[in-house]
Amino acid sequence: MDMASANTYQSCLNSMYGLRRFGIKLGLSTIRKILSGLGNPQNTYACIHVAGTNGKGSVASSLASILHQAGYKTGLYTSPHLVRFNERIQINSRPISNKNVMASYHTIKKAHHGDREPTFFEFATVMAFHEFANQKVDWAVIETGMGGRLDATNIIRPKVSIITNISLEHRDYLGNTLEKISGEKAGIIKNRTPVITGIRQPKALSAVKNKAAEKSAPLYRFGKDFKVRRNAAGTFDYHGIEATWRHLQTGLSGRHQVDNAALVLAACEILNKRGTKISLDQIKAGLLKNRWPGRLEVVATDPRIILDGAHNFIAARNLARFLSRNYKAGNITLVIGILDDKPYSAMLKCLLPTVNRVILTRARINRAMEPEKLEPIAQKITSKVEIVTGVKQALEHAIKTTPKKDIICVAGSLYVVGEAKEFLD
């Protein structure tokens, strides 16, 4: 890309990032008007909709990988990005080009916006829907941004809806109880459209059951309608709605990814029953080949550097389990930064016992918590606490002061992981 094009590309992104000043506005009227002005591109391909607290991206990317392996041209829309905006919008597992970002930006900028400017997420979502139509995808796998009922993505007509799991998050927007949050996520359920869920908590599950019944939507539950069994060899067996598939393997690290894979496989079963052709070999290949950056991702050796977003309590607990099962606590340096709307105390209490020392830092995003606020909590758990403001500087310090045989883990936020990747790249 020449300098002029690079500047134009960056100018488009800067304009979009400027929309963040409008904050988060849940609701569908603005995005509906923009999409209508573009001829409703989201209705030109088949969709799968994925909501939930954790595992959305892993489930969405695995499904996209499998559909691609099955010969379908497949779009994938996720958020946030780690290093480049283009990561949010992928075709056949590849981020779209800068040229396509610019073309989509200018097309959408000209479309009618209605009574207010779109938010950043609304604009990005329209870009994805437009780009998928422009590139004539067969399938698009769409991850919600926040919640479900009023999320900007909730104007699609999916063939199947998936709600991964639920924990307390975004309470100012979604409610203060699991039941209320689950009710918001269940807002993606459509009339007579199958819904798959990994939710186990009784009250949260009740909200999904009620919405599914209201919409006459068949409901398939992990642990009841389909299950997985882990094998000693690192593979697992899937005992499904009707099918039984043995000796499968996911390309993503962590025991929790097997549970995520179960939701993916249930979706494949349902798609096959409804006329989509995906063979078992294609399912196995798509599951194994899938990569999802920033989730237990090993990016360097000597010392080994592991990146994991671990952006809420459940994700922190999964990371803690992975570290304690695979490494000695005395050999791990944790570089961590957390956003101010996360349960930082619970996350630190979960993670710090599994490591030798901690370096507290903060991402550039304005929602990042000051390390000084995390320090008193960390010091109650471990004596080896340092503050290095700036992710790049914190990781540089960790690399210089960590023995080559030891482990560095970067965690606490996808924004922290993104800045770490940017520095390492």
The reply to whether omega before 80 is within 30° of 0 (cis) is yes
User: Superfamily for 297-424?
Assistant: Mur ligase, C-terminal domain (3.90.190.20)
> For residue 5, what pLDDT is reported?
72
Q: What mean pLDDT is reported for the chain?
A: 93
Closest CA to 411 of 327, 352, 328, 341: 352
| Distance from the Cα of residue 99 to its chain's centroid | 25
What does the pLDDT look like over 79-113, one tens digit per residue? 999 999 999 999 999 999 999 999 999 999 988 67
Burial class (CB in 10 A: 0-12, 13-18, 19+), 12: buried
Q: Where in the chain is the domain with CATH 3.40.1190.10?
A: 3-289
pTM above the 0.75 mark? yes
Cβ neighbours for 148, distance < 8 A, ≥ 6 positions apart: 51, 154, 163, 184, 185, 186, 187, 188
pLDDT of 303 strictly over 80 = yes
Are 77 and 337 in contact by the 8 Å Cβ rule? The answer is no
What does the pLDDT look like over 395-420, one tens digit per residue? 999 999 999 999 999 999 999 999 99
The reply to whether omega before 303 is within 30° of 0 (cis) is yes
pLDDT band at 175 (very low <50, low <70, confident <90, very high): low
Q: What CATH class has 3-289?
A: alpha beta
Q: Where in the chain is the domain with CATH 3.90.190.20?
A: 297-424
- Greater confidence (12 vs 20) lies with 12
N- to C-terminal Cα separation, the chain: 19
> For residue 171, what pLDDT is reported?
54
pLDDT band at 167 (very low <50, low <70, confident <90, very high): confident
Average pLDDT over residues 109-123: 85
> For residue 147, what pLDDT is reported?
80
Closest CA to 124 of 138, 110, 104, 139: 104
Q: What angle do CA 293, 298, 302 make, to 5 degrees?
A: 150
